[in-house]
Amino acid sequence: MSTDPGDRLPGLVAEFLRRHDPAGDRLGFLRARFDAGLAWVHYPVGSGGLAAPRHLQPLVDDEFARVGAPDNRPRRNGIGLGMVAPTLLRHGTTAQRDRLLRPLWTGEDIWCQLFSEPDAGSDLAGLTTRAVRDGGDWVVNGQKVWTSLAHRARWGILLARTATDVGKHQGITCFVCDMTAPGVQVRPLRQLTGEAEFNEVFLTDVRLPDDLRLGGVGEGWRVARTTLMNERVAIGGAPAPREGGLIGLVARTWRDRPELRTAGRHDELVRLWVRAEAARLAALRLRQQLATGEPGPEGSAVKLAFAELAQRISGFEVELLGEAGLRHDDWTMRRPAETDLLTRTATHRYLRARGNSIEGGSSEILRNIIAERVLGLPVEPRSDR
């Protein structure tokens, strides 16, 4: 019998489907898939995987999709799946992985990221939220901002300052925050679009047991870097077909509305189409690199390109449609679980795209990362170095 995981996987999937009805109980099916190691095959045995090569995951996903099996609605828990899970895998204890990974993967537990603060700006390490040791607990006080999904989250991955007499990058510790704990208050932040995807989170004497500490005391910056590198891949490196996403919408409008065409607009559309295709191929290359290891600083370049391109394409769409491009469909404050740009108006897409250059690392910070870690240019002078 072959010991090659690539040879064994089709048989394992077939046996699983023989024993579990894809049309039966959805949650039970997903839990069983995790327990069988077929959730993310590159994770360790017992953590939803089989310790197989990562590039084999599409083989498993495609076969489940082919038979119409339920998926875990990955966009509903994007922070959990794209950012928290790899952080738990690398820095979590066995007990934390056993407790948290399965409900994260099945979507039973939604996650948020408690990193950004109102007074820190783009300097994440300048955070002031404090965690003070009190016996077997940590007592947390502070405020976080721009927190997606906080109003739905069961857990949050939290950065807090635990020491002030060391460099600001050394005095940070990472925790798993129970969003139902007394002292956690979530308030909506309404955006340009009228929606409130984001939140402010106030933490007042929140007690977190030490077994919810993720990584060592004072090692939070190292943990955060794992989360942030995966965040940029999750935002900028999402798979997309050729002419998918925003460029696909604009290209279809161009084909269907010949009265909107001018020579100048044609040239701009072609430039945007070529850039979109280059960004798509760069994201594809990044995912291939990710299949053989952890994401590197290249993810910053892909996320930066995604943000700039989304703003240019959405701006072009508004210009192309003229007055019709200025009509907003709904100003009602809503709190969507997922960002669905493709079914909304051009105005909504234009306004929402303004946030792309802030969320997941501002474009200014990403340019610094690219300059210093990718191009090897001299580091920016800073007083804390």
Alpha-carbon span 349 to 342, nearest angstrom:
8
Alpha-carbon span 361 to 346, nearest angstrom:
25
Q: How many CB atoms lie within 10 A of CB 132?
A: 13
Alpha-carbon span 343 to 47, nearest angstrom:
36
Look at the alpha carbons of 13, 17, 20, 23 in this order and tell me if their dihedral is positive or negative. Answer: positive
Query: Residues with Cβ < 8 Å from 235, sequence gap 6 or more?
Result: 303, 306, 359, 360
Q: In this structure, are residues 43 and 94 in contact, taking their beta carbons and an 8 Å threshold?
A: no
Instruction: Decide if 231 is catalytic.
Output: yes
Alpha-carbon span 105 to 128, nearest angstrom:
31
First vs last C-alpha separation in the chain: 57
Q: What is the dihedral of CA 96, 102, 104, 108, to 10 degrees?
A: -120
CA distances from 9 to 3, 12, 50, 59, 85 (A): 10, 5, 10, 8, 22
Q: What backbone torsions phi and psi does residue 65 show, to the nearest 5 degrees?
A: -65, -35
Alpha-carbon span 193 to 204, nearest angstrom:
30
Q: State the Cα angle at 71 between 68 and 75, rounded to 5°.
A: 135
117, 231, 298, 317: the active-site residue: 231
Which residues are the active-site residues?
Answer: 231
